[in-house]
Structure 1
């Protein structure tokens, strides 16, 4: 076979590449399938829908501005918390008592949503957009209240914020 241009042996070179990822920042989409992840996702969506409904009103600016403040603050804080959980940053920041902090946050926001939804419901008989905002406000109040309940149970039992 050597006479026809085929060599008797050949050389193979193997190159190995090692990639490292930052172990402190890991994206974990499985959090969205847990009950706290579902609650946070629902809260974000309801916050945004309620905000849009409240901002369509131009007759009662104090009501729509209060509702807008409550819904947008809740939207951004919940979005940041969701990002922290998805990137597992909650595990890295150990000096914050996350269960207690989220329990207080959710409890306060359930109360604020109660006041905003009541204000929107009172003006809702004049403006349909505020009636819709009131509905979404009561849904958000329920979602934040349920989240506060689960965070309280977790805090009392000593379970970690993220496993």
Structure 2
């Protein structure tokens, strides 16, 4: 029975617990998740680096700058991939991992935009190939940054799990006059 001017009751009352396993362990299942697949950026960074190094103009300032950006991206993504695969992120859950990744990804987007543009403008075939992989890395870093923003807005954890314990709310009808 419904009564006038009465707000609808809440459906569930309950709480959730956050569970962290604080021991490091090797877990290759992270590589099959969307963030793990996106972290394959390290392969594109490596290929772009090799393209510049294989060029006759590897010591040109443009190539050196591009290789520096590619190396920074390789180290950043490789280190984070290792931290996630070995659950170090879960062990040190007090750090703001999602914000750290977001800032690093945004910085790398802009660095790859600049570096890829200047090597493509050089005109060498190897530089153009490196620029292609640089632009591809830029897009993937941008996608990962977008996913980190959405995770931060949703209040997600970098690694770990939340266990919900919802109990149904029992309504008692009001007393009759």
Range into which the TM-score falls when normalised by the shorter chain: 0.7 to 0.9
Q: How does 1:21-100 map to 2 (within 5 A)?
A: 24-41=23-40, 43-59=41-57, 61-100=60-99
Q: Over aligned residues, Cα RMSD in angstroms? A: 1.2
Counterparts of 2:93 and 2:85 in 1: how far apart (Å)?
16
Deviations 1:54-75 (A, max 9, x none): 1223436111000000001110
Cα distance, 1:133 vs. partner? 0.5
Structure 1 gap ranges (5+)? 1-22
Runs (4+) of structure 1 exceeding 4 A deviation are: none
Q: Which has the larger radius of gyration?
A: 1
Q: How many residues were matched structurally?
A: 138
Distance 1:148 1:115 in 2: 18
TM-score where L is the length of structure 2: 0.75
**Offset at residue 96 of structure 1 (A):** 1.4
SS in 2 for 1:24: coil
Give structure 2 stretches of 5+ with no counterpart.
1-21, 161-177
Q: Do the aligned partners of 1:57 and 1:64 also contact (CA within 8 Å) in 2?
A: no
Question: 1:16-40 deviations in whole A, cap 9, x for unaligned?
Answer: xxxxxxx611111100000000000
Structure with greater proportional strand content: 2
Aligned mates of 1:105, 1:161 — CA distance in 2: 15
SS across alignment from 1:25: coil
- Separation in structure 2 between the aligned mates of residue 138 and residue 28 of structure 1, nearest angstrom: 30
1:8-19 counterparts in 2 under 5 A?
none
Q: Counterparts of 1:58 and 1:74 in 2: how far apart (Å)? A: 23
The answer to which structure, 1 or 2, has the higher relative contact order (CA under 8 A, 6+ apart) is: 2
State the TM-score, normalized to the length of structure 1. Answer: 0.81
Give the 3-state SS of the residue equivalent to 2:121 in structure 1: helix
1:46 partner SS: helix
Of the three residues 130, 141, 144, the one matched with 1:144 is 141
Aligned counterpart, 1:11? none
- Counterpart position of 1:157: 154
